Amino acid sequence: MHSSTNNLLNIKNELNNINSKINIIAVSKNFNIEKIMPLIEFGHMHYGENKVQEAVDKWTALKQKDKRLKLHMIGKLQTNKVKFAIPLFDYIHSLDNLKLAEKIFLEQKKINKSLKIFIQVNIGKEDQKSGLDIKNVEEFYRICLKSFNLNIVGLMCIPPITGNMRDYFNKMLELKNLVGLKELSMGMSNDYLEAANCGASFLRIGSKIFGERN
């Protein structure tokens, strides 16, 4: 068995004790297809990329070949890249402003496609990170529904690297319930178990599956 497949199975075994229905996004950014193929052949379907052009180059042919594959845009999405992202991706995890929301709406309308979208929350109020302030999330969600009819499925966060992760994750769970959404995208290689215990439904795990990037 390939090392990445073995790593994925180990993570799934850990999560089975918490919630076996959690979706694991294998974050494949900066990894080539040769590194990813063992997981695809094993039957894993959810993958995450953070650069549109890299994703287009790597995934266009693969997704045409296997319609079951689900691709997640987990990085910051620039408005000028939306027209390339919409045909390829199935999920966007980083919606954080109305200009982007409108652009997604317009591009989806062109090809009659509806992606599943997460609103990114700046849960640690960090200046260097994208995402909405907690106090603005509920109004932003309502505008996205009313003005753009977006399929908002949940909230996403990248918490600070310091502090108590569970505090940030529990805040996200409270906010998700307040807004009335179903999904939570949170937890990465270093904190996925804490996130799972706090209600995450999508985990974004890269190095713990594929190994360290170059």
What is the Cα–Cα distance from 162 to 123, expressed in whole angstroms?
Answer: 13
Residue 159 confidence (pLDDT)? 94
What is the Cα–Cα distance from 112 to 149, expressed in whole angstroms?
Answer: 13
Q: Is the pLDDT of residue 213 over 80?
A: no
Among residues 65, 51, 61, the alpha carbon closest in space to that of 94 is found at 51
What is the Cα–Cα distance from 202 to 187, expressed in whole angstroms?
Answer: 8
* Average pLDDT over every residue of 102-127: 96
Residue 76 confidence (pLDDT)? 96
Which has the minimum average pLDDT: 11-20, 133-142, 179-188? 11-20
List beta partners, residue 119. Answer: 95, 155
Residue 214 confidence (pLDDT)? 66
Residue 177 confidence (pLDDT)? 97
pLDDT confidence band for 212 (50 / 70 / 90):
confident
DSSP string, 106-154: HHHHHHT---EEEEEE-TT--TTS-SB-GGGHHHHHHHHHHHH--EEEE
Kindly list the structural domains of the chain, giving each domain's residue range(s) and its CATH number in brackets, ordered by start.
3-210 (3.20.20.10)
Residue 109 confidence (pLDDT)? 97
What is the Cα–Cα distance from 46 to 189, expressed in whole angstroms?
Answer: 16
pLDDT digits (tens, 9 = 90+) for 64-105: 999 999 999 999 999 999 999 999 999 999 999 999 999 999
Cβ count within 10 A of residue 113: 12
Where does the chain show beta strands of DSSP type E?
23-27, 46-49, 70-73, 91-95, 116-121, 151-157, 183-185, 202-205
Is the pTM value of this prediction over 0.85?
yes
* Average pLDDT over every residue of 42-47: 97
The chain-wide mean pLDDT, for the chain, equals: 96
pLDDT digits (tens, 9 = 90+) for 143-153: 999 999 999 99
Q: Is the pLDDT of residue 1 over 80?
A: no
HSE, side-chain direction, 13 A CA sphere, residue 123 = 28
CA 66 to chain centre: 20
Which has the minimum average pLDDT: 12-16, 92-96, 161-165, 197-201? 161-165
**Using the 8-state DSSP alphabet, how is residue 22 labeled?**
P
Cβ count within 10 A of residue 90: 17
Q: Is the pLDDT of residue 58 over 90?
A: yes
CA-CA distances (angstroms) from residue 135 to 38, 123, 131, 178?
43, 10, 12, 11
Helix (H) or strand (E) holding 177: helix 165-179
